[in-house]
Structure 1
Amino acid sequence: MHTESTPQATRTTGHRGPDWPSEATRWAQITLAEDDPLHFDADFWLDLMRSSQSNATCISAGGYIAYYPTQLEYHYRSKYLADTDPFGTLVDGARSLGMSVMARVDPHAVHADAAAAHPEWLARDLDGNPLEHWAHPDIWLTCAFTSYHREFITEVAREIVREYDVDAIFANRWEGYYGISYSEAARRSFRDDTGLELPVAEQAEGWHEYVGWRRRRLSELVGIWDQAVRDIRPHARFIPNLGALAARDLDRGLAERLYPIFIIDKQGRSGIEAPWGAGRNGKRNRGVFPDRPVRLITSVGPEHHQYRWKDSVAPGEEVKTWIVDGFAQGALPWFTKFNASVPDRRWVEPIVEAFTLHAKVEPVLKDLHITAEVALLDPTRAGQLRNDHRGDHEDGFYQALVEARVPFEFISDQVLSADRLRPFKVVVLANAEQLSDEQCAVLKEYVDNGGSLVAAYETSLYDERGRARDDFGLGEALGIRLTESSRAVKNNYIALMDSHALNQGFDGATRIIGGTRILGVEADAVAVVPFRFIPDFPDLPMEEVYQRDAPDRPAVICTENANGGRTVYFPFNLGAIFWEALQADHGRLIANAVGWALGKTPEVTVEGAGLLDVAVHRGETSVAVALVNLTNPMAMRGPIRETLPLPPQTVSIAVPADRVKVRLLVADVDVEPTVADGRAEVVIPTAGLLEIVHVDWGHA
């Protein structure tokens, strides 16, 4: 540890290049607390970087608190800094290990002296009052549309990249106040750009314009910061931290130009969130920017919606699972430890194990790309404008596809185009209620060209601004017409009709549970209706709970199109009710729909007991099937105490050659496949948290 400030002029800068975003694949982050200069142990952190095979690090530098001897007025130094430089010490140590380095800054709040000297920097409520921090007294929230962000933080970034050997500035909470700030600068900018006043609340007049304006202005801000650091160090970049929703708050054109890498700040499972949530973060980001590197931050402590136990430690198996499911789905590892003291070391071994596991499989996976035949539409644009538990619909479909072991990707409605849809055989719309006319036209063209759709509930009943349509925007493609708007029901059932692939697997049943919200629809004459709603009947008194009338209205509508595509539509909240009640019949119905819409044997199948998250990584002469074992005693409650070893799994993969070489990358053994009818089949006797089946026909 430095005992005095390192003279800035003596720092050496080795050769640095623009490829660091793709080459930095395992990140170790140290988020310092104000008192850390008193006691932090640099040797511990450098040893951990070495043992975990980390090749990149992110270290707290400045913004809210500076951990180096800043020369900028109102850039608050840690009151414990004295003549030390913990940031510089860690930068030098990481560079000695050949690591890439980011400097973390946080501009979301300022101390009282800065607030008093520059009241124009502060976020303000509708009445113009400055906003004090919600969690700490006498510090103040900043507004991203003021000179604090555009000028002061720009100078902080310049100082850091000028004085230290870093590859990037990493900005946490870079958007400032998360709500609508009514600072004079924000009011003036919005008025100049739109001719409107800032909306008084979400969904109020001007809200739609505000969403677009905020996206543009924040993206412009990142461009200012990025150019500032590149003017000093050409290979360096400014990287803003993104939440679990990845890039949906950014102007696409600017993001494509400015973002060499995406950092997703979804640090762990929260509440009863399912363990596949980590992999979903990777998919969601690729759904917007499919070719951009993604890193997923994992906290060593527990995550919860309401509480922040940052000094505690999450169960080791849960930490490992979050990291492994993330990198199996393309979001590579990044761990963060809040404050540099280590009163509880139980997190260290799980981090080392997970990072070492990634280092083991990286040589194969790094040259492959994740592919799938099925895509789940991510209605990100609608998410800006409506918030009525839309996530429940997605969660239910996601869970059903994971249970069915269907490899699938996300595709964002922001990039919906014929080219973007072309790689997929099936597109699933769990409840994409808000779709523009243009988006509906793209999806209809996709069906006309042989693609398949699986859609549910209010998909396409609203336009992109949330205005209700008289009928489905995708009605023609799905073969349906609206006859009755959504209504709530308590005791709904759907009856199995004529034999069809969608009612397979329900042996012994004549009806299954339907939805809790249903729509009335008519089906085209050419459609097949394998399920129909049983007309409503009472749920009490018990003596009155019986069916009165025969099944009538369509509950599942299936069509086969002349060009080969198939569509399935469910006029009820199938995804949401599956997520709420987890009735197996609903999961089977979703799996049957996707399987029938695909219309062929999937390119990859995995059979066996257990809960697996499957990803397919493909190259020109090889394919790697990643099996993340989510089987644990509390799988649907969320917390992970232990991972139960998998029983035997049969993996079948379509291959273009009669001779293939198969290796289990984690077990580190070659296995003999059975190759017949264009498929290679292997049996994995068991697996722990991860196994990857690598099939190579280029070197067989």
Structure 2
Amino acid sequence: MAIDSNDSKLPWYRRTFRWGQTNLTEMDPVGCDMSWWKQYWRETRVQGVIVNAGGIVAYYPSQLELQYRAKGLGDRDLFGEWVTEARNEGLAVLARMDINRATQEFYDAHPDWFVVNRHGEPLTTDGRYFSCINSDYYKEFIPEVLKEIIAAYGPDGFTDNSWTGVSRSNICHCEHCRRKFKAASGLELPAASDWNDPAYRQWIKWSYSCRIENWDLFNKVTAQYGGSDCLWLGMVNANPVKTHASFCDLKEVGERSKIIMCDHQSRDTLNGFEQNSLNGYLLHGVAGWDVIIPESMANYIRGERSFRQGSSPPKETRLWMVEGIAGGISPWYHHVGAVQEDRRQFDNAPPVMQWHEENEAYLYNRLPVANVGLVWSQENTEFYGREDADEKVALPWHGFVRALTRARIPFVPVHADHIANEAHRLDVLILPNLAAMTDAQCQSVRQFVEAGGSLVFTGATATLDEWGEVRSGFPLESITGIQPLHQVAGAVGKVSSNWAFYEAHNYFRLPGDRHPVLAGFEKTDILPFGGHIHRVQAGGQLKAVATYIPSYPIYPPEFSWVREPQTDIPVMLAGEHAAGGRIFYFAGDVDRCYGRTHLPDLGDLLANAVQWAASEQLPIQVDGPGYLDCKLYRQDNRLILHIVNLSGANQNPGYLEEYLPVGPITISIRTDDLVPVSVQLKVSGKQVKLDVSSSWITVRIESITDHELLVLE
């Protein structure tokens, strides 16, 4: 179904593109100026607002005795005022909740509703007690809060950024958790985190299901008392590794959601600005491209030090916002506090939001054009990543994301359970160290290759079952001809920052007869590596592309000479399947090493392997300087291309201070059945010439500052 912000017949969640959130503080009722906020809504062109209602703090005169009221509320109904003014402006309203902790008074009244450790001691922070997701706090009290807010104010729905309760670092031993886990598994609760304990592994899966159970409960309540379009939405973070810490099942949430509210406010130390376009792609991948996905975008300072009332640097905020828009994210400004002394933050969002309104016709009702799928799963994060998910899962994932972005190769994230559904759109699947896989997921990969698809995989992929246990056989042997030996050599685990760390001073040996993946390395016979390799026995399909040079001393320099210049240990293998597809295996963890170091040689190897696997049949080629994130879409008889200039923007820690314009940029797009005759540049407004030659169209742009939107039709 098409989405259109001007179609009043559509439900609010299909026509509300731009959002604004004011996260109220306890003393905001004293000085909040609603007339000022109404003007800001107009400047930012928002169609919906998100404002605090109840839970941890109530901003309305709740009749529920134990619900804590904001310290400065007095006789004021601040939430009610926001709802009234927003309705007068024609805006949708979502009531923000935070339900994971409560006061001493509440705990004293219902101690069995709160998280306790195995000794029966409650979990607290700053004088608040953490509520248990399996207790009547979630099952009875929060539904009463929802019903009260619906009856008094009739919001369109609810959000909650803490709906998942306490993190995985706390195993709750309250009576509700003990009884419920025993009934579900037949086991007692695990005493502590122990991946060798079957009960702990069962607890991990069970913990996910408990959160989804509450998601369904809250939506049942809001639908019953507020109507079918009154939605309870939680909030999610789109990073597939980070979300495992809170037991948020992105796939299950995506399958349930009519709109996804994404709480991913800024870049972090590992993932740069490109993470935000990936956020949109990943969440659309689980929810569908007809679902609107707003994202909370911080206007306060985040980073090495966060300042809730300080203004985020404007270019930092703007680039994060336009990167999200490029990936299909709807903008959603976020301010902490209704009264601000650093008023610079209010200059950040309006220009982007106004541009978004002017160009919304090109930003929805479209599908990505990409024939490469980057596979992910939360099972792999849990049961392979375990206590070290950043090292085992996040780094390989980030390595491929950055390598593909840097090489301007369009790709889409694909959940491992969705491979069969997405196969018809794809020519190449990438499995980035996807060690823990179900039998069904492995079968989908085999079917993809047997139907002519190409495969790039790395490291320990498919060597573990869904619980993280070593498989007796290799489920991809029939399509790859290799058999893992379950032996690892080189630098394993987190690599020391000491530059003389011995095990990481290793290399690749390049042969005289070079595979196409080694293009660009003609002037060297070795490549720096720095990681570890998985030993395999290769069959007929795959042949070694390069071999391993073991580590040797790096210091002192007099001792830094190669002890073992040649081995027969393959670090990369390539071949063709009988069905016509190409297969490339990185036995060396190039994806992880590139994710850690961003060494260009390693990124080039990853990108070259994907280009080779795709038989050079990629839908777009972008030539010119700079680090550019390119997202191509098809919309009816249009092609729409976002180019976001990330050049010089990914230093971290730090904040973006200046744009570094790049150009000229030459863009070539494969036409297939659509041959555009005109092109519009929707950021610069400049006119450019479009050339059509054979099956390609070519456009040249002289310069890009922060981003450009090309509409070809």
TM bucket (normalised to shorter chain) is over 0.9
Deviation at 1:445, TM superposition (A): 1.0
Deviation at 1:496, TM superposition (A): 1.9
- Taking the aligned partners of 2:160 and 2:638, their CA distance within structure 1 comes to 38
Tell me the residue number matched to 1:453: 455
Tell me the residue number matched to 2:297: 298
- Taking the aligned partners of 1:531 and 1:262, their CA distance within structure 2 comes to 45
Tell me the residue number matched to 2:212: 219
Pairing 1:495–2:509 present:
yes
Tell me the residue number matched to 1:561: 577
- The 3 A distance-change label for structure 1 pair 438 and 367 is closer
Deviation at 1:670, TM superposition (A): 4.2
- Taking the aligned partners of 1:79 and 1:550, their CA distance within structure 2 comes to 71
Deviation at 1:578, TM superposition (A): 1.2
- Taking the aligned partners of 1:380 and 1:500, their CA distance within structure 2 comes to 34
Tell me the residue number matched to 1:407: 410
SS for the counterpart of 2:311 is coil
- Taking the aligned partners of 1:74 and 1:637, their CA distance within structure 2 comes to 42
The 5 A counterparts of 1:470-481 are 470=472, 472-481=474-483
Q: Which residue, 592, 598, 610 being the options, matches 1:582?
A: 598
Q: Which residue, 479, 483, 486 being the options, matches 2:485?
A: 483
Deviation at 1:16, TM superposition (A): 8.3
Cα pair 2:572 2:588 within 8 Å, conserved = no
SS for the counterpart of 2:308 is coil
Deviation at 1:74, TM superposition (A): 0.7
Deviation at 1:439, TM superposition (A): 1.4
Tell me the residue number matched to 2:431: 429
Letter in 2 for 1:409: V
- The 3 A distance-change label for structure 1 pair 318 and 171 is same
The 5 A counterparts of 1:109-258 are 109-133=101-125, 136-137=126-127, 139-178=128-167, 179-202=170-193, 203=195, 204-234=197-227, 235-245=229-239, 249=247, 255=253, 258=256
Letter in 2 for 1:393: P
- Taking the aligned partners of 2:130 and 2:467, their CA distance within structure 1 comes to 31
Deviation at 1:113, TM superposition (A): 1.3
Q: Give the RMSD, CA atoms, in angstroms.
A: 2.2
Letter in 1 for 2:46: S
Q: Which residue, 516, 520, 525 being the options, matches 1:510?
A: 525
- The 3 A distance-change label for structure 1 pair 275 and 113 is same
Deviation at 1:529, TM superposition (A): 2.5
- Taking the aligned partners of 2:595 and 2:157, their CA distance within structure 1 comes to 40
- The 3 A distance-change label for structure 1 pair 511 and 115 is same
Cα pair 2:272 2:650 within 8 Å, conserved = no
The 5 A counterparts of 1:484-633 are 485-488=487-490, 489-497=503-511, 498-535=513-550, 537-539=552-554, 542-543=558-559, 545-632=561-648
Moved more, 294-303 or 152-161: 294-303
- The 3 A distance-change label for structure 1 pair 160 and 283 is same
- Taking the aligned partners of 1:318 and 1:255, their CA distance within structure 2 comes to 29
- Taking the aligned partners of 1:694 and 1:16, their CA distance within structure 2 comes to 27
- The 3 A distance-change label for structure 1 pair 545 and 620 is same
- Taking the aligned partners of 2:254 and 2:342, their CA distance within structure 1 comes to 41
Q: Alignment identity in percent?
A: 28
Tell me the residue number matched to 2:340: 342
Structure 2: stretches of 5+ with no match in the other structure = 1-6, 491-502
- Taking the aligned partners of 2:561 and 2:368, their CA distance within structure 1 comes to 50
Moved more, 478-487 or 543-552: 543-552
Tell me the residue number matched to 2:268: 270
- Taking the aligned partners of 1:404 and 1:630, their CA distance within structure 2 comes to 13
Q: Deviations over 1:363-384 (max 9, x none)?
A: 1121212231111111322212
Letter in 2 for 1:651: I
Deviation at 1:525, TM superposition (A): 2.9
Deviation at 1:160, TM superposition (A): 0.9
Deviation at 1:659, TM superposition (A): 5.2
- Taking the aligned partners of 1:268 and 1:365, their CA distance within structure 2 comes to 21
- The 3 A distance-change label for structure 1 pair 143 and 89 is same
- Taking the aligned partners of 2:254 and 2:402, their CA distance within structure 1 comes to 31
- The 3 A distance-change label for structure 1 pair 477 and 88 is same
Tell me the residue number matched to 2:3: none
- Taking the aligned partners of 1:400 and 1:328, their CA distance within structure 2 comes to 18
The 5 A counterparts of 1:618-697 are 618-632=634-648, 635=651, 639-655=655-671, 656-658=673-675, 660-696=677-713
- The 3 A distance-change label for structure 1 pair 251 and 569 is closer
Tell me the residue number matched to 2:46: 54
Moved more, 583-592 or 480-489: 480-489
- The 3 A distance-change label for structure 1 pair 64 and 431 is same
- The 3 A distance-change label for structure 1 pair 233 and 634 is closer
Q: Paired residues, what number?
A: 677
Deviation at 1:60, TM superposition (A): 0.5
Structure 1: stretches of 5+ with no match in the other structure = 1-14
Q: Deviations over 1:635-674 (max 9, x none)?
A: 4655311221221111111123555221112223443200
SS for the counterpart of 2:148 is helix
Moved more, 340-349 or 243-252: 243-252
Deviation at 1:185, TM superposition (A): 1.1
- The 3 A distance-change label for structure 1 pair 284 and 251 is closer
Q: Deviations over 1:212-247 (max 9, x none)?
A: 222222212122211212222212111111123478
Normalized against structure 1, the TM-score is what? 0.92
Deviation at 1:32, TM superposition (A): 0.7
Tell me the residue number matched to 1:260: 258
